[in-house]
A and B are shown apart, each in its own frame.
Chain A
């Protein structure tokens, strides 16, 4: 084997094993040839003494030496592409859900403001006494706050889920090419106790507020209208 044949074979084998810094390694062997040639050895002799390029290249694989991962990695990568497609669709659904939650939150807040200050665009909000409108405005605000808390948690949850999936993805690929795997990440978000407590407080108090204002709103409306089905009295669903 000549110098060029040896170096080419070594380079190809290193590439197969996904070794980084190819040129660095090759230049060391080039120098070895240069020294030995200067001492009067032939290229064939030097190559023979260096050893089998395939065997040498396998020794550059970190930690694992004899295993060959060439075929397995391709299969794994193809498998991961399909897994990514499904996961991608799933995450897209989560994003859309988050967007809907955001829009609903904002809408609830706007309706609350309209009820409170008596704005009524295009007559969209059915008529009712101001007292009832005030109580229902409180319900809408409470709902907006509750939905904000849910939205916040959902965003954090989705982010953690994506991180966890990304780590899984990296580890699967690393595992198939003989590299060390990183510790896997938990699926549920790791929130600080302070943030958790505040979020829970916010959710619970707004939920209570929502329930109280809805029930009291219904009772007061029923009393004012003199009918349990007060919406008929105020002609809400009539064109």
Chain B
């Protein structure tokens, strides 16, 4: 699948994960790579872009063991953007689906 195309959708996926709960970068990377076939390192540029756009913030949190982890959390703007983008994407995906299925029907 085209990586450039995937990257746009990945932003949406990352935001949907963060909407459920705050995560550190590695968690998100692991979670996504379970579902989507992408290079593990791709998540970090996406997180950074979301941060520079003000859609997520970061904070450090000490865990029981190991160094402090950087957690990502969705901002209010991020939440609004996510809801709007999600709606847009789903309706777009639906349209494409109908279009592609129509083409299949025509062949029969």
Residue of B at shortest CB range from A35?
B26
Whether A51 contacts B4 by the Cβ 8 Å rule is no
| Across-interface contacts of A52 in B (CB, < 8 A) | 39
Digitize B41-63: 1 where CB-to-A-CB distance is under 8 Å, 0 elsewhere.
11011111100100000000000
- A25–B45 Cα distance when bound, in Å, is 9
- A60–B42 Cα distance when bound, in Å, is 10
| Across-interface contacts of B70 in A (CB, < 8 A) | 27-28, 31
Whether B26 contacts A50 by the Cβ 8 Å rule is no
Interface residues on B, range: 20 to 34
- A32–B7 Cα distance when bound, in Å, is 20
- A31–B66 Cα distance when bound, in Å, is 10
Residue of A at shortest CB range from B48?
A60
Cross-chain contact of B41 among A50, A62, A65 (Cβ < 8 A): A50
| Across-interface contacts of B40 in A (CB, < 8 A) | 32, 46, 49-51
Whether A50 contacts B39 by the Cβ 8 Å rule is yes
Q: From residue 1 to 55 of chain B, which have CB atoms closer than 8 A to chain A?
A: 4, 7, 24-26, 29, 33, 39-42, 44-49, 52
Contact of A51 with B41 at beta-carbon distance under 8 Å, contacts A28-B25, A32-B26, A32-B29 already known: yes
Whether A31 contacts B25 by the Cβ 8 Å rule is yes
- A56–B46 Cα distance when bound, in Å, is 10
| Across-interface contacts of B69 in A (CB, < 8 A) | 31
Digitize A12-31: 1 where CB-to-B-CB distance is under 8 Å, 0 elsewhere.
00000000000001011101
CB distance from A32 to the nearest CB of B (A): 5
- A142–B49 Cα distance when bound, in Å, is 62
CB distance from B10 to the nearest CB of A (A): 11
Whether A60 contacts B41 by the Cβ 8 Å rule is no
CB distance from B36 to the nearest CB of A (A): 13
Cross-chain contact of B4 among A25, A29, A65 (Cβ < 8 A): A65
| Across-interface contacts of B25 in A (CB, < 8 A) | 28, 31-32
- A25–B47 Cα distance when bound, in Å, is 10
Whether B48 contacts A25 by the Cβ 8 Å rule is yes
CB distance from A213 to the nearest CB of B (A): 64
Cross-chain contact of B42 among A28, A46, A51 (Cβ < 8 A): A51
Would you list 24 pairs from A and B whose C-beta atoms are within 8 A, ordered by A residue? A28-B25, A28-B47, A29-B44, A31-B25, A32-B25, A32-B26, A32-B29, A32-B40, A32-B41, A34-B66, A35-B26, A46-B40, A49-B39, A50-B40, A50-B41, A51-B40, A51-B41, A56-B39, A56-B41, A56-B42, A59-B46, A60-B45, A60-B48, A62-B52
Interface residues in chain B, defined as those with a beta carbon under 8 Å from any beta carbon in chain A? 4, 7, 24-26, 29, 33, 39-42, 44-49, 52, 66-67, 69-70
Q: Which 3 residue pairs are nearest across A and B when measured between Cβ atoms?
A: A51-B39, A59-B45, A50-B41
Interface residues in chain A, defined as those with a beta carbon under 8 Å from any beta carbon in chain B? 25, 27-29, 31-32, 34-35, 46, 49-52, 55-56, 59-60, 62, 65
